[in-house]
Amino acid sequence: MAHSVKIPVPGSNKEISVHTELFINNEFVPSVDSQETIQCFNPATEEVIASVVAGSAKDIDRAVAAARTAFKTTWGKNVTGWERSRLINKLADLIERDSQELAELETLNNGKPVAIARDSDIGDSIQCLRYYAGWADKITGQTIEVDNKSKMAFTIREAVGVCGQIIPWNYPINMWAWKVAPALAVGCTIVMKPSEITPLTALKLSELVVEAGFPPGVINTVPSLGAVGGATLAAHPDVDKIAFTGSTMTGRKIMEAAAKSNLKKVSLELGGKSPQLIFESADLEQAAAWTALGFCWNTGQDCTAGSRVYVQDTVYDKFLDILVRTVKATVIGNGFDQKSGGGPLVSKPQFDRVWGYIDSGKAEGAKVALGGERRNTKGYFVDPTIFTDINPDMKIVSSDYLNIFGPVLSVGRFKTEEEAIALANNTTYGLGAGLHSTDASQCMRVSGLMEAGTVWVNQYNALNNNVPFGGKKQSGIGRELGSHALEEYTSVKAVHWNIGEKLQWPL
């Protein structure tokens, strides 16, 4: 019998039941050779709420074999696009039905407020699944004119096969949907490795995969340590594609392992050091509101968090006053408190990492305009912190370091548009960027010169499932969302058909 735990929901008599074993071939099963477990914490209380099985390399082998069998027999070319669409939509319906419970579980393991988990993360995930369900029967190729009238040529877009998908802890359900939906739509099968910090919702979603009616082996979930599960998937000779969201350092290791094994297809959404530019013509109240969202959303635990803001010197003081006032209204608290607009950081290592940045900012001479003080309470809480009087060599600003992944902002000055663009692009990363201006010509000009995969104009961190998302430079390769994500899970086959030419041999 599969093992499960019941986790109490704070402030209610409710318990959430979660399986704690590996999900392979539509069954929850123990590891074949590992006795290790992964402890899951509630970051608001620092308490262990569950322990799940830590999968081994042999468990990954089992999951890959199940995915390969499903791809060859009950999925892939064996299922029509219409049937794939029906099942993906059914899964979306079940997630919508259980959205409150999933949100509560997400809050218990990740810390984000329940309302945000339900309405933003899970709401967007449902839309993502339905968006790609609409694509499932619309994967088309091309008919291509060729020179000879007795020949024709056409292309077929085919599912690449078995996909290893490695997702992070900051948006556990959302990243699950971003990876799973396009892969299922085109006919791929999946071995999912959730973050070892936040595996619970991926296991809960696995229950819904069975209820929706997906054939065994189409989606498999193997919680494991990254050095085991992620490394095994990246190097596995029978995995056809790896999709990864996480750090640039780990992305490099995945590319290397993929190259040394079977040259599997790789897409990487990696870290950033995202800038925002505030020009003197900007609506400063709105710019401050979007800036606050840019570094406080998800308590700053976001790859595109706008952690560097540069303000034109003519409006710098005024903007800073508005920004501090705006951010002061942000409530960071327990995710089960309806007043909370942000929760704790996800783990003790992440908490220590963020405080390391804050302490370095102080030590290197940056001025604290807001925050910067520790709470004397349990939980991994960090209040929004704003630094001014910065320079490019400080750790909190330097291009040598990724986003802080906490609610920490550095605010600098610029005089000219050219200086602003140079400051924004002074990084080896290029995931997101933003600018605020009411000058339409300036918006068009500057957005074209900012080196990022996504540029937001007079807004920030707003994403849509039909718009591609990904990075430039060391922020990754490939795209998620939109029709472009389908390209990451398909390969193009060209067919040349002779319909009448007679070959005379020898020529």
**Prediction pTM value:** 0.96
Domains and CATH numbers, the chain: 4-270+475-492 (3.40.605.10), 275-457 (3.40.309.10)
pLDDT of residue 2: 65
Contact 94, 173 (CB under 8 A): no
Q: How far apart are CA 194 and CA 438, in angstroms?
A: 42
Q: How far apart are CA 282 and CA 315, in angstroms?
A: 9
**3 state SS of 245:** strand
Question: What positions carry a catalytic annotation?
Answer: 269
Q: How far apart are CA 268 and CA 250, in angstroms?
A: 10
Contact 223, 169 (CB under 8 A): no
Written as six digits, the tokens of 23 are 């999900």
**3 state SS of 130:** helix
pLDDT of residue 16: 98
pLDDT tens for the chain, 507 residues: list them: 469 999 999 999 999 999 999 999 999 999 999 899 999 999 999 999 999 999 999 999 999 999 999 999 999 999 999 999 999 999 999 999 999 999 999 999 999 999 999 999 999 999 999 999 999 999 999 999 988 788 999 999 999 999 999 999 999 999 999 999 999 999 999 999 999 999 999 999 999 999 999 999 999 999 999 899 999 999 999 999 999 999 999 999 999 999 999 999 999 999 899 999 999 999 999 999 999 999 999 999 999 999 999 999 999 999 999 999 999 999 999 999 999 999 999 999 999 999 999 999 999 999 999 999 999 999 999 999 999 999 999 999 987 777 899 999 999 999 999 999 999 999 999 999 999 999 999 999 999 999 999 999 999 999 999 999 999 999 999 999 999 999 999 999 999 999 888 899 999
Contacts by residues 251-254 (CB-CB < 8 Å, ≥ 24 positions apart): 251/476, 254/166, 254/230
Question: 383-393 as b/e, with b when 16 or more CB fall inside 10 Å?
Answer: bbbbbbebeee
Closest CA to 362 of 386, 392, 332: 386
pLDDT of residue 481: 98
pLDDT of residue 144: 93
**3 state SS of 223:** coil
Q: How far apart are CA 386 and CA 389, in angstroms?
A: 10
Written as six digits, the tokens of 482 are 């939109």
Q: Which residues pair with 266 in a beta bridge?
A: 242
Contact 71, 179 (CB under 8 A): no
β-pair type (367-370, 429-430): unpaired
Q: Which residue type occupies 432?
A: G
Question: End-to-end distance of the chain based on CA atoms, in angstroms?
Answer: 70
Q: Which residue spans within 313-460 are E strands per DSSP?
A: 367-370, 385-388, 408-414, 429-430, 432-436, 454-457
